[in-house]
A = this chain, B = another copy of it.
């Protein structure tokens, strides 16, 4: 069982590289995968990596950079700015920071620009309304919210750009680890809101990147 099958061709096929999902892998498995990247001279981003594994990997991969909020480990450099456009990332509360940070780290790794807006929860709707002019300048908006997950519903009724909702596991009781926020976003009466899995800042970032690449393709760049 010693031949991991890394999808190095993904970049040609899809326009972005494979990322390594760290959560379910042992430190040994991740180390073996990172070695393969080192051999090829490729940069690599590990997501959802627990701090204790990051610490253990630091021994052999001293150059790797761990972000304890985003829980990402980066080996090699972020790509140069790609000029594809700007992804707005808006979050309902301070507690959603890890998800915001993960989305930022992934987009930065891909060279895509971001702009972040935090603490815009619907319990104080004026905070959202005040940021509207800036939000309207973003090309795509990632909208992060836990608890009742209402922010993407309100936002999607205010701007016409693509909005990607990310429910977070923040909350308790019937928040059910993010399930209520997820189902609320999917049931939204706002039109054309799409959603990713709970706490999946990574997936939202890639979805935004797919959209911006389309713009480039269509404009012939």
Q: Of all chain B residues, which has the CB nearest A159?
A: B14
Interface residue range, chain A: 35 or more
A24-B95 contact given A185-B148, A214-B161, A218-B215, CB 8 Å threshold: yes
Q: Kindly list chain B residues whose C-beta atoms are within 8 Å of the C-beta of A58.
A: none
Q: How many copies does the complex hold?
A: 8
A157 CA to B150 CA, complexed, in Å: 13
A147 contacts B5, C-beta separation under 8 Å: no
Top 9 nearest A-B pairs by Cβ distance? A192-B206, A173-B198, A24-B95, A5-B119, A194-B194, A150-B150, A123-B157, A148-B184, A15-B160
A196 vs chain B, min Cβ distance (A): 6
A65: chain B residues at CB < 8 Å are: none
CB closest chain-B residue, reference A30: B94
User: Which residues on B sit within 8 Å (CB–CB) of A191?
Assistant: 14, 16, 19, 123, 202-203, 206
A219 CA / B185 CA spacing, docked (Å): 30
Residues of chain B with a CB closer than 8 A to A125's CB: 125, 154, 157-158
Chain A stretch 44-92: residues in CB contact (< 8 A) with chain B: 48, 85, 92
Task: Please measure, in the bound complex, the distance between the C-alpha atom of A92 and the C-alpha atom of B7, giving whole angstroms.
Answer: 12
Known contacts A10-B124, A16-B191, A161-B213; 11 further A-B pairs (Cβ under 8 A): A1-B104, A1-B118, A5-B120, A25-B94, A139-B218, A147-B189, A148-B148, A148-B185, A164-B194, A186-B195, A192-B203
Asked whether any CB of chain B lies closer than 8 Å to the CB of A43, the reply is: no
Say how far A4's CB is from chain B's closest CB, in angstroms. Answer: 5
Please tell me if the beta carbons of B189 and A93 are within 8 angstroms of each other in the complex: yes
